[in-house]
Amino acid sequence: MLFSGRRRKLAVNAQTEIYGQPLQFYGQPPLENISLSEFETFAVDRLKLLKTVETLGVSYVKASEQYSFKLMNESKSLNFPYRPEAGSMDDRKPQPGPTEYDKRRKDHISHFILRLAYCQTEDLRRWFIQQEVDLFRHRFSELHPKQKLEFLHRNNLQYDTISVEEKKALQDKLISSSAGISGITVEDQDFYKVPFQDALDVVRMRKVYLKAGYVYIPHQDIVTIVLNDFRTRLSKALALTARSLPAVHSDERLQPLLNHLSHAYVGQDYSIQKNVGKISLEQIDSLSAKSFPLCMRQLHQALRENHHLRHGGRMQYGLFLKGIGLSLEQALQFWRSEFIRGKVDADKFDKAYAYSVRHMFGKEGKRTDYTPFSCMKVILSNPPSQGDHHGCPFRHSDPELLKQKLQFYKVSPSGIHQILELVKGMHYQLACQKYFELTHNVEDATFSLNHPNQYFTESQKLLGTGRDMKRETDGAQRSQENASTKGSSTAREAAAKPPQQIAEMTEELDSFFQDA
């Protein structure tokens, strides 16, 4: 794509306008060309920022003072915008370092680069959206009240407020619909009447009064509408970007870089089968006690006891087994031998269940090779209901039952206490990791857990190479470093190419978004 002089000027003007605002919805892709080295640093820095968002979200209450403070510091040190009050254009006294304009530009461009890297699978999209939404929430809450209103105006998010009389009539309902609302706040604040489709998060969690299709949102919670809108836009945009992805994939220079970016922070992709056939079916019972995370151990046990698992459990457990190396033939044999001990006979199994096992291995239907579920997926999607054994025990079991189970597995009382505390704070993966440490006799696990298959691999590593191994470097950090050095080596390779090609590449980049 070639810009004429005039077109370019227009583009730059549009850009200037966007960067005049402290916060944006990322509706317009960047239109300028950037160098490959900038491309690389921008992307890596934003990943660092999003990773911080994730870690802070686990360790602190979102929007608490400490959370905001830490997030602001990280933004500052990575040269992202962090002070909403700073005007971008009128940095009068020249300060050392990047200007506000530069920071907003970096924010804009880096967001769009990561869209490319993170639109590829459902797991990646989920992670990216979650972190971007949290980052957005933080930034929006830092705005001044006046700026918030301006933002709503500019993005056409305006709704009717209800009259004083209506407010009086509904007072009781409004108060009992939300924990943070008292009689006084009802009187003091405006309430907006918003179609429920525009405020799904608060509808879902029943945090708001709903009548005849409208939710009544107090001014203090207006952020929920903004976030709802942001989330919807972003997930639509990612779906569209994913469709233009074949073009990106065929680009030899972009593709490795994007892959490194996406793997750097969400961990390994367990859909690629390694170790196929290294595990025998006889080993599974003992492995389940030694090296399975609790979620899988629970499923295994339920399967052995009931000779059956419902769909949710079959998916979660079946894909996990595939991930640890069961071949299709082994999987078929495994499920069949267990099911036919229950109510299902061999014929029925072959008719009704074998298909779905083959499906998991991408041998039927759409032939997509299904990826084993990550912890996030297990914890967030498809919660177990009556008759189900899937899900994450740290998230979906009664604390009382979890406690009994841990006692049964001989975890020490102090260990149980620590785990339950983490569960109480909703840090399910950390609780699981604690369980790992306690049952493997290590003090500090050298990884940060985000996948049941990772749990298994790490466990096998420890059990295979002897216990009590101490590792010097922090594993999570190390893998990050690895990833970014790998990333920059691709960048170096690419940088070695003639400059003309690089210019071409970035021009192509914006054409991907144009298509979308």
Partner 1 sequence: MPCSDYDPASLPDLLPLYYRRLFPFSQYYRWLSYGGVQKNYFQNREFSFTLKDDIYVRYQSFSTQSELEKEMQKMNPYKIDIGAIYSHRPNQHNTVKSGTFQALEKELVFDIDMTDYDDVRSCCSAADICLRCWTLMTIAIRILDRALRDDFGFQHLLWVYSGRRGVHCWVCDEAARKLSSAARSAVAEYLSLVKGGEETVKKVVLTDPIHPFIKESLAVVEKYFPQYALKDQDILGRKESVDKVLALVKELQQAFQKDKIPESRWEHVLDQALDKQGTTKKGQHFEKEIMLQYCYPRLDVNVSKGVNHLLKSPFSVHPKTGRISVPIDLKELETFDPFAVPTISLICEELDRPKPGEEQSEDTNKNEDEKDAAEKRKVRDYKRTSLAKYIKHFDQFLDTMARSWKGELLKKSDLQKDF
Residue numbers of the site for partner 1 (CB under 8 A)? 173, 175-179, 196-197, 200-201, 203-206, 209-214, 232, 235, 243, 298, 302, 351, 382-391, 393, 396-398, 400-401
Q: Which does 388 bind (CB under 5 to 8 A by kind): partner 1, ligand SF4, none?
A: partner 1
For ligand SF4, the closer of residues 293 and 313 by Cβ is 293
Compute the least distance from the CB of residue 202 to partner 1, in Å.
Answer: 9
Residue 392 annotated as binding site: yes
Nearest to 297, CA basis, from 466, 424, 432: 432
Q: Which of 49, 295, 416, 462 binds ligand SF4 (CB under 6 A)?
A: 295
Considering the complex, what minimum distance in angstroms separates the CB of residue 429 from ligand SF4?
A: 5
Strand partners for 215: 194, 210
273 makes contact, choosing from ligand SF4, partner 1, none, with CB < 5 to 8 Å by partner type, with: none
Q: Does 432 bind ligand SF4 (CB under 6 A)?
A: yes
Who's near 437: CB < 8 A, 6+ residues apart?
Answer: 443, 444, 445
**Which of residues 265, 455, 512, 513 is near ligand SF4 by CB under 6 A?**
455
Return d(Cα 143, Cα 82) in angstroms, integer. Answer: 10
Judge whether 295 is annotated as a binding position: yes
Q: How far is the CB of 382 from ligand SF4 (least distance, A)?
A: 12
Phi-psi region of 447 (alpha: psi -120 to 50; beta: other; left: phi over 0): beta
> Nearest distance from residue 375's CB to ligand SF4, in Å?
3
User: Quick check: 375 binds ligand SF4 (CB under 6 A)?
Assistant: yes
Q: What is the 3-state secondary structure (H, E, C) of 64-112?
A: CHHHHHHHHHHHHHCCCCCCCCCCCCCCCCCCCCCCHHHHHHHHHHHHH
Measured from the CB atom, the residue of 74 and 388 that comes closer to partner 1 is: 388
Q: Which of 420, 26, 490, 459 is nearest to 240 (CA)?
A: 26
- Cβ atoms 170, 88 nearer than 8 A: no
What's the rounded Cα separation, in Å, for the pair 516 and 509? 11
The residue range among 24-32, 90-98, 172-180, 374-382 that interacts with ligand SF4, by the rule CB under 6 A, is 374-382
Strand-pairing partners, residue 218, are 191
Beta bridge partners of 191: 218
18 touching ligand SF4, by CB under 6 A? no
Give the end-to-end CA distance of the chain in Å, rounded to a whole number: 15
Enumerate the β-bridge partners of residue 245: none
Q: Which residue number, 386 or 465, has a Cβ lying nearer to partner 1?
A: 386
| Residue 119, marked binder | no
Segment interacting with ligand SF4 (CB under 6 A) among 71-79, 143-151, 211-219, 390-398? 390-398
CB of 105 to partner 1, least distance (A): 31
Inter-residue contact 349 to 339 (CB < 8 Å): yes
Per-residue exposure over 409-444, b if at least 16 CB sit within 10 Å of its own CB, e if not: eebeeebbebbbebbeeebbbbbbbbbbebbbebee
Question: To 5 degrees, how large is the angle CA 329–CA 307–CA 357?
Answer: 30
Rounded Cα gap, residues 516 and 512, in angstroms:
7
Binding partner of residue 413 among ligand SF4, partner 1, none, CB cut-off 5 to 8 Å per kind? none
Give the nearest distance from C-beta 309 to partner 1 in angstroms. Answer: 11
Least distance to ligand SF4, CB of residue 432, Å: 3
- Which of the listed partners (ligand SF4, partner 1, none) does 452 bind, with a CB threshold of 5 to 8 Å by partner kind? ligand SF4
Work out whether 294 is an interface residue with ligand SF4 (CB under 6 A): yes
Place of tokens 């210019």: 503
The whole-angstrom separation of Cα 2 and Cα 34 is 14
Q: Among residues 41 and 301, whose Cβ is nearest to partner 1?
A: 301
Residues 6+ apart with CB under 8 A from 88: 19, 20, 22, 99, 100, 101, 104
Question: C-alpha distances in angstroms, 502 versus 33, 115, 488, 507, 508?
Answer: 9, 20, 15, 9, 10
When CB distances are held under 5 to 8 angstroms depending on the partner's kind, the choice from partner 1, ligand SF4, none that residue 386 binds is partner 1
Total residues binding ligand SF4 (CB under 6 A): 14
Give the nearer residue to partner 1 in terms of CB position, either 12 or 426. 426
Among ligand SF4, partner 1, none, partner that 455 touches (CB below 5 to 8 angstroms by kind): ligand SF4
Tokens of 43: 């992307």
- From the list ligand SF4, partner 1, none, which binds 206 (C-beta under 5 to 8 Å, kind-based)? partner 1
In the complex with ligand SF4, the residue whose CB is nearer, 124 or 295, is 295
Closest CB 352 distance from partner 1, rounded Å: 8
By the 8 A CB rule, do 469 and 442 touch? yes
Segment lying near ligand SF4 (by CB under 6 A), choices 106-114, 196-204, 330-338, 427-435: 427-435
Q: Which is nearer to partner 1, 34 or 302 (CB)?
A: 302
- What's the min distance (Å) between Cβ of 402 and partner 1? 8
Residue 390 CB, shortest distance to partner 1, in Å, is 7
Closest to ligand SF4 by CB, 25 or 394: 394
Q: Which residues contact 491 (CB under 8 A, 6 or more apart)?
A: 36, 37, 39, 40, 257
**Closer CB to ligand SF4, 81 or 313, in the complex:** 313
Q: What are the structure tokens assigned to 308, written together?
A: 């059956």
Q: Is 155 helix (H, G, I), strand (E, B) or coil?
A: coil
Q: Which residues does the annotation place in the binding site for [4Fe-4S] cluster?
A: 295, 375, 392, 432
Q: Which residues are annotated as a binding site?
A: 295, 375, 392, 432
Residues that bind ligand SF4 (CB under 6 A): 293-295, 375, 378-379, 392-394, 428-429, 432, 452, 455
